[in-house]
Structure 1
Amino acid sequence: MEPAKRKVVQRSPAHTVRRLHLPHLPEAAVEADSSVERDFVLIASLYVGIKSIQHQPFILTLGSGSYTPDFLLQFQDQTKAVVEVKPTSEVPKYEVLFAQAKEKLAQHGMLFIVARDTVLRKDSMAERAMKIRRYAKTLCHFQEQERALELVQQHPTGVSIRKLMQARVTKPTLYYLIAHRRLQADEQLNIEDDAIVSLPKPFPLEASHAVCFARWLDA
């Protein structure tokens, strides 16, 4: 495994690379090499247990040659996952490569995950993640944030966005709190009026954060 001391992949001048700034995560902007990678980053950044997202983190030497994974995720419990983002139609072509990567990364204590476009974009989840992210830099009154958190705290199993709005909490404030992971939407990131939000739920004791994330993505 070779660390990425410089940019791993040289970008083509005609190739669009998206730089995503995630103010609630403490590292530099995350690069996404495609719209599917962008969707993944937007969704993953809302996952409560994630500590950092790094694009093209290293070069992995395998039996079939070298391989540069798309992302390295580090979680609050210190577990790590390497993620390859692919359209579902392309996954079978890389079956051998991914199997080798999974085995090699396991030796380093890392989980290997293939994130498929059909999961990321199912029922418009990526679109909702993009909408939530727009509010990450919104200026929200501190008092309204605290009132929203107090109201949600009174409902251990969660409360609907509609009920919070009736209590004079605005949607931009709720989206801001979800973007900064102080509130948690459901697994599909639903944010309609009837959707339920809650305080961040604790992780199961028997599973690492990386494993829980893989289950969330059906990986």
Structure 2
Amino acid sequence: MLLERGRKVVTRSPHRRVGYISCPWLQEEQVEYESLLELNFARIALLCPGLVSIRSQPFVIELPGGAKYTPDFRLDFASKLAVIVEVKPSKFVRQHQEKLDAAAELLRSHGFTYLIATEEQIYKDGRDARASVYIRYARSHYADDVVRGALVKLQAQVSPGSLDKLAQCVGCPRELVLHLIGVRRLTVGPSLLPDQISFPSDLEELRNGDFCPASWLNN
């Protein structure tokens, strides 16, 4: 059974990192997080192709036996796909496996895709650090005509290309290209390395291959 939206997330804690991520280029609602692992997941999720919204603790579900479960995030995509994500250290996944399996079964019966994200995916090969850079530059401000001019020039280049190559070809600062990645006017692959940058429209089918949400989020 799906119940009301989960509890208010952010409360002061001496034991964990809590706070909000503002992402006005995507949505008005801030993204709440209750741990450093959730913060780093949310930064990666904000870069996922096709994402149209992300909500923290979107609802509560009642599991067989009466236990209640609140997932960490709901991600909605332009393809109408809705992904529910549990962010949890791997050692606690094993500890709570039975409850998570029950939640997965119930959520899938309601049409959701269910993913568990651990440090093994989030921190793999420094993805979290690269996501942090892109989101930081996403908050930079550029005049609309500067952005439009850069995108027109970038469209004329052979895609995909590396960060330095695109910046040099267009004659714009690297920081502007990083900004365009952060606000998803440009797209990087699941590793988040800035060596194969392309336009979202260049991806023939975002639901297949490396760019489908499940593959992309889990790298």
User: Shorter-chain TM-score: which interval?
Assistant: 0.7 to 0.9
CA RMSD, Structure 1 to Structure 2 (Å): 2.4
Contact 2:9 2:32 in 1 (8 A): no
Unaligned runs of 5+ in 2: none
Instruction: Give the aligned partner of residue 124 of structure 1.
Output: 126
Alignment: residue pair count? 213
* SS of structure 1 residue aligned to 2:62: strand
Instruction: Give the aligned partner of residue 169 of structure 1.
Output: 172
Cα distance in 2 between the residues matched to 1:46 and 1:155: 22
Contact 1:17 1:34 in 2 (8 A): yes
Instruction: Give the aligned partner of residue 86 of structure 2.
Output: 84
2:182 to 179, 195, 201: 179
Contact 1:17 1:32 in 2 (8 A): yes
Instruction: Give the aligned partner of residue 99 of structure 2.
Output: 97
2:108 to 78, 81, 106: 106
**Identity over aligned pairs, percent:** 31
TM-score after normalising by structure 2: 0.87
Unaligned runs of 5+ in 1: none
1:158 to 157, 160, 163: 160
Describe the superposition over 1:23-43 as per-residue Cα deviations: whole angstroms up to 9, x where unpaired: 222131111100000001000
Cα distance in 1 between the residues matched to 2:137 and 2:56: 23
Q: 1:28 to 1:63 in 2, by over 3 A?
A: same
Contact 2:53 2:77 in 1 (8 A): yes
Instruction: Give the aligned partner of residue 53 of structure 1.
Output: 54
* AA in 1 matched with 2:76: Q
Cα distance in 1 between the residues matched to 2:175 and 2:208: 32
TM-score after normalising by structure 1: 0.87
Contact 1:156 1:198 in 2 (8 A): no
Higher strand share: 1
Contact 1:19 1:32 in 2 (8 A): yes
